[in-house]
Amino acid sequence: MRLFIAIPLSDEMKQALVACMHDLKKQGVEGNYVPAQNLHLTLAFIGEYDDPSRVKKVMESIPFSEFRLSFSEKGNFGNLLWMGIKGNQKLKTYVKDLRAGLKEAGIPFDDDRFVPHITLIRKAACKKSYEVHLNKAEMTVRKVSLMRSDQKNGKVVYREI
């Protein structure tokens, strides 16, 4: 099964991102827009792995304390457009400890440098310049979730395990 560890977003943050994506569409930005229910902040992408209980055990062993999340500036990785998250020491420390725990347990994951972001559009393209308008939104992170990614009727569906 395809797994990742993520922070589910509050309704307020999702609404702000959905409004932003609608505005981008109106401005002519094309691409594969992430459905509202799939918006999240990935902390560690594991990929194909058949023992979610081992991953959960690592997650439970990492100390977690609540922290605030808010948006920063937009960014991109090639043609993938994303919204950044403001610098947050509690988030960085948690991710560092989480990834160290996964490594120690021998659980494979994508070990790229952590850039906190929420993917908005894959294969983004626009024939003219555009501006990203985003309403301010914040949330308190109270939990981190182990997520499963499945294909259903040709669409990607994320489920919390």
Residue 41 belongs to some domain of the structure: yes
Domain limits for position 110? 2-153
Residue 161 belongs to some domain of the structure: no
What mean pLDDT comes out for the span 124-141? 92
Residue 132 belongs to some domain of the structure: yes
Number of domains in the chain: 1
pLDDT the model gives residue 152:
86
What mean pLDDT comes out for the span 8-26? 96
Residue 63 belongs to some domain of the structure: yes
CA-to-CA dists, residue 43 to 81, 94, 99, 136, angstroms: 18, 9, 8, 22
Residue 42 belongs to some domain of the structure: yes
pLDDT the model gives residue 155:
85
Residue 50 belongs to some domain of the structure: yes
**pTM score, two decimals?**
0.92
Can you give the C-alpha Rg of the chain in angstroms? Answer: 16
Per-residue pLDDT tens digits for 18-42: 999 999 999 999 999 999 999 999 9
- For 139, counting Cβ atoms within 10 Å of its Cβ (0-12 exposed, 13-18 middle, 19+ buried), the class is middle
Residue 11 belongs to some domain of the structure: yes
Query: In this structure, what CATH number is given to the domain that contains residue 90?
Result: 3.90.1140.10
Per-residue pLDDT tens digits for 103-119: 999 999 999 999 999 99
Percent of the chain with pLDDT over 90: 90
Residue 160 belongs to some domain of the structure: no
pLDDT the model gives residue 151:
86
Q: Is the predicted pLDDT of residue 87 greater than 90, yes or no?
A: no
Q: Are strands 80-85 and 117-125 parallel, antiparallel or unpaired?
A: antiparallel
Q: Which one-letter amino acid corresponds to residue 144? A: V
